[in-house]
Structure 1
């Protein structure tokens, strides 16, 4: 659990949990609990927020391992039933050059999410937002919660498994229109909108509805834009040492949500209105927290989730 008191505002994360099974050239095999939404949920909980993850896990050893690790970070897990399916996996085979080939075994048949009246903020993204049949439940959840809660979304596109770029772009824009905060990577934008500039894409996304759009740029830091004024700013990365970049984007997302909840820019309909009127100065502290959390993550091996005390 986080090394600070848990805040009262409940955060719901909706999305996949999976196990990464990594085969390296020396014959070693390592397994890691993953899935972008699961990583975000663990990151938000470690920063002291009451966090629930709506996901699916099989009744198997992988499911048990996922449950143990996620709950050890302070997350409550709901919607566990995966039917007769096993826990989703991503088999990664690493060659001598360090490149990876992936073989996914994914199952995403999410039951309707309950208890939305107790939720202040909902986050979703990645595979869960595009994979049928569960993606329909994701949409229903966001639409129902939006009446009283705020929404954040990270497309985190996976071109090899999500479909054609035209299909995915339409789906991404549908979810952006339901969101208050959108965070994507520079690579996401380059695939979805080949040849278009970041400022143009950010402006177009802002016109769909969110009050804040943030684009991560790896070692080049981030660009972010507030819709109220159309102002665009950049902030440098804070990384001193890099162990690996696993989970860096998810850690950034967790820090961003945490910072904005604390700033009163997420959490209810009034917060949504404040965000719609926000200037760059109003969101700068939240972006700063996100950069701090991701910097700590890349300095550790694996998708490490820092506590509030560490940042």
Structure 2
């Protein structure tokens, strides 16, 4: 089982001249995509008891995501106002005193024994106290479970870059699989170096595998001492990119989770063939998402062989 740990929020998306509320959030989207791909998954997050919080919980249930680890609170739900420009999304967040943000780092939940991997990421790693909650949880569980992270950086939401960078450095040190976009990579490792060189710098900080996605240019994984594999993305008509990276992550993890590929003991020894298959599956799943509006990951039955 995979535990997805991070934000659930409401995306306010332009639709027919108005703003329509859609359940979302980077980690929420990945959990939903995993559930639709028939991967056993639980979602761990602070979720409001308000109307939007009920919408989020219902969305998880509808996509086969377990909700036993939800931390419910009588606080508002985080809102993200989405602006679409030529199909590409930008976000403005409202997150003060929300259920998702006000988590206590001193009150970490127990994790089910059958959880093989834990996935962290998104804006939940930016603002305290939730960011410290998730970091503490990752550190506590890193010795026995595979830790996966996608920082999915939203620079306009970061108010204290120095603290945020320090937190990400600590997280990366305990991560087994790190996924970054090319934009994330340029923010994390500043300077003119080529992307592969920057990705190697991150790999040297702890992860066994670093996955780099570059939109239409495909995805690359760095692993071992100096091994690298790349895959292209399927050719599709892009409607928008909302949830594309989150869905890619789910497809990648779904492929690895088959046949025990996410076991902590085996991550460092995964071979090129297995990693290529996972990258291809991630790209295939993400291609479906970008071909339709919003973060709407495919069900397993929708995927072609």
TM more than 0.5: yes
Q: 1:186 aligns to what?
A: 182
The whole-number CA distance in structure 2 between the counterparts of 1:246 and 1:97 is: 8
User: Which residue of the partner structure matches residue 234 of structure 1?
Assistant: 230
C-alpha change, 1:126 and 1:265, in structure 2 (3 Å) is: same
Shift of 1:98: 8.6
* Higher mean C-alpha displacement, 44-53 vs 106-115: 106-115
CA deviation string 1:36-94 (max 9, x = no partner): 00001011111111111011121211111111111100011244445442111113466
* Residue 306 in structure 1 maps to residue 301 in structure 2: no
Q: Is the 8 A contact 1:109 1:134 kept in 2?
A: yes
Alpha-carbon distance, 1:234 to partner: 2.2
Q: Indicate the residue corresponding to 2:195 in structure 1.
A: 198
Task: Describe how 1:287-298 pairs up with structure 2 within 5 A.
Answer: 287-298=279-290
Q: Indicate the SS of the match to 2:67.
A: strand
Separation (CA, whole Å) in 2 of partners of 1:98 and 1:252: 16
> Which residue number in structure 2 is paired with residue 77 of structure 1?
67
Aligned residue for 1:70, secondary structure, equals: helix
Comparing 136-145 with 181-190, greater Cα deviation is found at 136-145
The answer to whether residue 209 in structure 2 is matched with residue 216 in structure 1 is: no
Gapped regions of structure 2 (runs ≥ 5):
none
Instruction: Determine whether 1:113 maps to 2:105.
Output: no
Partner of residue 81, structure 2: 91
Q: Deviations over 1:110-166 (max 9, x none)?
A: 352223433111001011122210122212221222232111000101111223444
Aligned to 2:279, the other structure's residue is in SS state: helix
1:17 match = 8
CA distance 1:29–1:247, shift in 2 (3 Å): same
Q: Which of these residues, 121, 135, 159, is aligned with residue 163 of structure 1?
A: 159
The residue that corresponds to 1:3 in the other structure is none
Q: 1:41 aligns with which of 31, 34, 53?
A: 31
Counterparts in 2 of 1:242 and 1:34: CA distance versus 1, 3 Å: same
Relative to structure 1, the CA distance from residue 197 to residue 171 in structure 2 (aligned partners, 3 Å threshold; closer, same or farther) is: farther
How much does 1:224 deviate? 1.5
Q: Could you tell me how far apart the structure 2 residues matched to 1:99 and 1:305 are?
A: 16
The 3-state SS of whatever aligns with 2:204 is helix
The structure-2 alpha-carbon separation of the partners of 1:68 and 1:225, relative to structure 1 and needing over 3 Å to count, comes to: same
State the Cα deviation string for residues 180-227 of structure 1 (Å, max 9, x = none): 11111111112222333211121111112211111111111112211x
Given that 2:31 and 2:250 are in contact with CA atoms closer than 8 Å, whether structure 1 keeps it comes out as yes
Counterpart of 2:172 in structure 1 is: 176
Give the conservation status (yes or no) of the 8 Å contact 1:52–1:76: yes
> TM-score, normalised on structure 2?
0.89
Tell me how many residue pairs correspond in the alignment.
296
Deviation at 1:179, TM superposition (A): 0.9
- Residue matched to 1:262: 258
Name the structure 2 match of 1:6: none
